Amino acid sequence: MPKLIIDGKEIEFENGQTIIEVAKKDGLEIPHFCWHPSLSISGNCRVCLVEVEKMPKLVIACSTIAADGMVVNTQSEKTLNARNAVMEFLLINHPLDCPICDEAGECKLQDYAYKHSAGESRFVETKNHKDKRIQLGPRIMFDQERCISCSRCIRFSDEIAKENQLTFVQRGDHVTIRTFPGEEFDNPYTLNTVDICPVGALTSNDFRFQTRVWELSSTESICVGCSRGCNTEVWVRDNEIKRLTPRENFDVNSYWMCDHGRVNTWKNVNADTRIDGCLKDGEKISWEDAIKSVSDGLTQYQPEEILFIGSAFASNEDNFLFKKLAEKKGVHEVYFASAIKPGDADDILIQEDKTPNSLGASKIGLTGSNDNKSLSKKISDGKYKAAFILEDDLTRLEEDVIKSLQNIEFLIVQATNENQLTKEANLVLAASTFAEKHATYTNFLGMVQRVKPAVTSANMDRALDSMSKSRWDKFATTFDRWGRGKKYDSKPGWSILSGILNEMGEEKNYQMAEDVFDELAKEISDFNGMNYDTIGSGGALLKSFTKQEAETV
């Protein structure tokens, strides 16, 4: 392989790579604003200037192709002076509003001003003022004064979102960004421009002025808005989710996620509709009484009289134990309802299947279909006298099907939030959301992915207090246990179902979600050999899926 030298270090590279790509691969950061690895090269910020031996002038690292034997210096006096000059130029008209800017703490301009600037400007004239608080689209606010004209948002809209809606107008220090005449910056991926904007020019209406980023904890998770399962970071303050941002995973979502997943999929976690504890005929009861009531209630019915409805919204661990519970009662067919929205998909990320785990539910042995007709028919037939519904409100089913469920003698609903069926159920069990538990989900590509608790529940606090230090060190995440936000009396689905199984004499001693998954991985061939460590933060493919097969799905 060809080699070049950067700051005295010899590095191998592949033909066609630029200097900045070679440096990044080797862990060396060359300062940059406009360059992004997934976007075309624009070369207009000039802060990545480097000195290359035998070249008469400095070159920009983002567009200069690496050559065998090339000697690059990113720290020479000539390079540092040029970088300093570029920073001074960029800061001439930039407002000094870091104390009120949402980007503060994550701002490249702020970071580079400390690292690569003299810290003093020779420009003493009045700054050129521009418009602030411009609503570019329904989710994006634009501050013209902060913009450094890197063009990342323009290139993203055209090249990634496939919606050419933004452009530069004017010249010189009057240049700014606008939508095309008659256009609004409105596509399913607009909020990705907030992530890639290197300054605070583009801000999210949903997160704007909510909190300072250094007051947030972040936890690796996934989006549960569709079967893609985009990798995310969950950002929390005072035990409340404040935002979701995409996490890099080239096997799933690259650097991106859709606006719906980013803004809407977590709002139920701290919603007023959350179920807080267990209810029996509308009255609050203890967990012990609730679990005993489930066991006693199901004992009164024959297997053919009980309907078990699992969920593609529930985790692999939850559905696995739910099926075991059904089998314990002699029921060998467990159903789940699909949530397909025909036409609501694209060739970027969004999928028609609006559940995070339909493939996982199928692999575990639950029965589902795209049209839900067979399930609706079974419910409406009226032969069932008892039903147990796992974490799915089923409101997308026909109204007469919902009425049939409401007329069942003994209805158990395990749910995170109130819905039409929880109001009619004989027993309601409060389940933890995806952001409050350790669990796995399987996306449509066959990738098994983990979620971790980002916010805590009252039961989680009690469990952590009793956990041994070794277990705590392994499973603790970055959430703030002592945050001031509301903590709901809920439990992870697997924990509730484990309690019911034990009440029925199953004698299972699951201490953690990992214990359930380990058993699942032994019993179900597609998951053989997997554990939480091998899944890690990037996911692991089902045994029946090769990477090439997954890419063709």
- CA dist., res. 465 & res. 455, Å (int): 16
On whether the CB atoms of residues 342 and 373 are closer than 8 A, the answer is no
For 267-426, strand residue ranges (E) read 278-280, 283-285, 306-309, 386-390, 410-415
The CB-side HSE value for 345 (13 A sphere, CA atoms) comes to 13
Q: What is the pLDDT along the chain (553 residues), one digit of tens a residue?
A: 899 999 999 999 999 999 999 999 999 999 999 999 999 999 999 999 999 999 999 999 999 999 999 999 999 999 999 999 999 999 999 998 999 999 999 999 999 998 888 777 788 888 889 999 999 999 999 999 999 999 999 999 999 999 999 999 999 889 999 999 888 999 999 999 999 999 999 999 999 999 999 999 999 999 999 999 999 999 999 999 999 999 999 999 999 999 999 999 999 998 999 999 999 999 999 999 999 999 999 999 999 999 999 999 999 999 999 999 999 999 999 999 999 999 999 999 999 999 999 999 999 999 988 888 888 988 888 889 999 999 999 988 888 899 899 889 999 999 999 999 999 999 999 999 999 999 999 999 999 999 999 999 876 655 554 455 455 454 444 444 445 577 899 999 999 999 999 999 988 889 999 999 999 999 999 999 999 999 999 999 999 887 555 555 5
SS (H, E, C) 463-523: HHHHCCHHHHHHHCCCCCCCCCCCCCCCECHHHHHHHHHHHCCCCCCCCCHHHHHHHHHHH
Please report the pLDDT score of residue 482 as a whole number. 45
Q: Take residue 411 and report the two structure tokens written for it.
A: 């209805």
State the DSSP code for 186: -
**Beta bridge partners of residue 60, listed in sequence order:** 49
On whether the CB atoms of residues 204 and 190 are closer than 8 A, the answer is no
Kindly report the length of the chain: 553
Question: What is the residue type of 356?
Answer: P
For the segment(s) 278-336+374-552, the CATH number from 3.90.700.10, 3.40.50.740, 3.40.50.300, 3.90.78.10 is 3.40.50.740
pTM over 0.95: no
To which residue do tokens 């067919």 refer? 333
Give whole-number Cα distances, 154 to 147, 238, 453, in Å: 12, 35, 36
Residues with Cβ within 8 Å of 462's Cβ and at least 6 positions away in sequence, in order, are none
Please report the pLDDT score of residue 4 as a whole number. 95
Q: Take residue 460 and report the two structure tokens written for it.
A: 């989680």
Q: Take residue 306 and report the two structure tokens written for it.
A: 């009980």
Please report the pLDDT score of residue 417 as a whole number. 96
Q: CA triplet 457, 460, 464: central angle to 5 degrees?
A: 145
For the stretch 535-539, contacts whose Cβ atoms lie closer than 8 Å and that sit 24 or more positions apart, written own/partner, are 535/440, 535/448, 535/449, 535/450, 536/450, 537/220, 537/231, 537/247, 537/450, 538/231, 538/249, 538/251, 539/231, 539/249, 539/251, 539/252, 539/443, 539/447, 539/448, 539/449, 539/450
256-295 residue pLDDT tens: 999 999 999 999 998 999 999 999 999 999 999 999 999 9
Torsion angle of alpha carbons 113, 118, 121, 127, nearest 10°?
Answer: -10
**Domains of the chain by residue range:** 3-91, 278-336+374-552
Q: Take residue 18 and report the two structure tokens written for it.
A: 């630029």
Residues with Cβ within 8 Å of 143's Cβ and at least 6 positions away in sequence, in order, are 132, 133, 134, 200, 201, 202, 203
Give percent of the chain with pLDDT exceeding 70: 94
For the segment(s) 3-91, the CATH number from 1.10.3720.10, 2.60.40.420, 2.60.40.1080, 3.10.20.740 is 3.10.20.740
Please report the pLDDT score of residue 123 as a whole number. 82
On whether the CB atoms of residues 500 and 318 are closer than 8 A, the answer is no
Count of other CB atoms within 10 angstroms of residue 164:
13
On whether the CB atoms of residues 90 and 148 are closer than 8 A, the answer is yes
Q: Take residue 462 and report the two structure tokens written for it.
A: 């009690």
Q: Take residue 28 and report the two structure tokens written for it.
A: 């060396």
Q: Take residue 257 and report the two structure tokens written for it.
A: 């996620």
Strands ordered across the beta sheet of 540-541: 439-442, 447-451, 540-541
Torsion angle of alpha carbons 520, 526, 531, 534, nearest 10°?
Answer: -170
On whether the CB atoms of residues 547 and 541 are closer than 8 A, the answer is yes
- CA dist., res. 410 & res. 424, Å (int): 10
For 77-201, strand residue ranges (E) read 134-135, 140-142, 166-169, 176-179
Please report the pLDDT score of residue 509 as a whole number. 83
155-202 residue pLDDT tens: 999 999 999 999 999 998 899 999 998 889 999 999 999 999 999 999
**Ramachandran angles phi, psi of 192, nearest 5°:** -65, -25
Count of other CB atoms within 10 angstroms of residue 108:
18
Please check whether the two domains, 3-91 and 278-336+374-552, share a CATH topology.
no
- The strand pair at 306-309 and 386-390 is best described as parallel
- CA dist., res. 375 & res. 378, Å (int): 5
On whether the CB atoms of residues 145 and 132 are closer than 8 A, the answer is yes
- CA dist., res. 212 & res. 229, Å (int): 27
Question: What is the residue type of 437?
Answer: K
